[in-house]
Amino acid sequence: MSTPLRFISKLHGRRVLVLGGTSGIGFAVAEAALEHGAHVIVSSSNQEKVNNAITRLRKVACPLEPNSSDPGTTHVTGKTCNVGNRATLKANLEALLEFATSSRTQLLDHVVYTVGDHIVMATYRQSTVEDLENRQLVRLTAPAILGGLLPNYVTKSPTSSYTLTSSTTAVKPPPLLTSYTTQTVAVQGLARGLAVELKPVRVNAIEMGLVPTEMHDPWPQEMKDFVFSKYKDATLTGSLGNVVDAAEPYLFCMKSAYITGTSIVSDGGNSLV
């Protein structure tokens, strides 16, 4: 009799929704969940990105299902969801959750929020009330509203989880990013508050360092070279992050049923330098 696979089987057959799952760290989280045998739903504001992500993710093989002739094909779906429009934010999130749960007939086990938008470099002296409200919409307001909706769509169990994305700027704020730093600190507070509010469902935040992704593609090459080199030199590992390693803390938060209300740092030791 074979020994049960107690560790890599923890996500097998689980329903995992990844907002921001069509690129960057979110895509890596979706890919990793599929490798573990999960049923994954990815979301983005762009339909083409959703379609492309699904095509790529359908090629992911799961070692727990070695007899599948086309691994992953039946285990990934996706839907657009625009979280950057204040007027339609809640309705868009509700529509996504209805889709992801087949109208609440198949509740979610895990929800991961990795959505981000352009980070504005500006001091508070240069910012208006409207500026600050707009900047926090995608990274703070949206995951907060989503958290309030989850009780109707997530299995109420300590094996279920909601994982948010923060940044090491929360503990090491750089110049000109005060409003962004405020958001990242607030996300950690949101994770702790929701952990209490949504119990026994677990809620955590990942405090992520700099990881080059498609989000940085529009940057001029000289800017990328300067920023990436400077960050690399300011880590204990002497390296930049990559999306594969960046996905691991999210997997940990999904798989470990005894962690909630905390923030996990993944930054190569940058916050200690």
Q: For residue 71, is the peptide bond before it cis, meaning its omega torsion is within 30 degrees of 0?
A: no
Residue 160 known to be catalytic:
no
Residue 126 three-state SS? helix
Residue 59 corresponds to which tokens in the numbers above? Answer: 């090629």
Residues 228/12, Cβ–Cβ less than 8 Å: no
Closest CA to 191 of 89, 125, 113: 113
Please name the residues in contact with 5: beta carbons below 8 A apart, sequence gap of 6 or more: 64
Among all chains, which residue has been given the structure tokens 């339909």?
Answer: 47
DSSP 156-167: -STT-EEEEEEE
Element (H, E) at 17: strand 15-19
Residues 112 and 273: their CA atoms lie apart, in Å, by 29
Given the residues 43, 166, 263, 266, select the one marked as catalytic.
166
Please name the residues in contact with 193: beta carbons below 8 A apart, sequence gap of 6 or more: none
Among all chains, which residue has been given the structure tokens 């107690």?
Answer: 6
Just list the catalytic residues.
Answer: 166
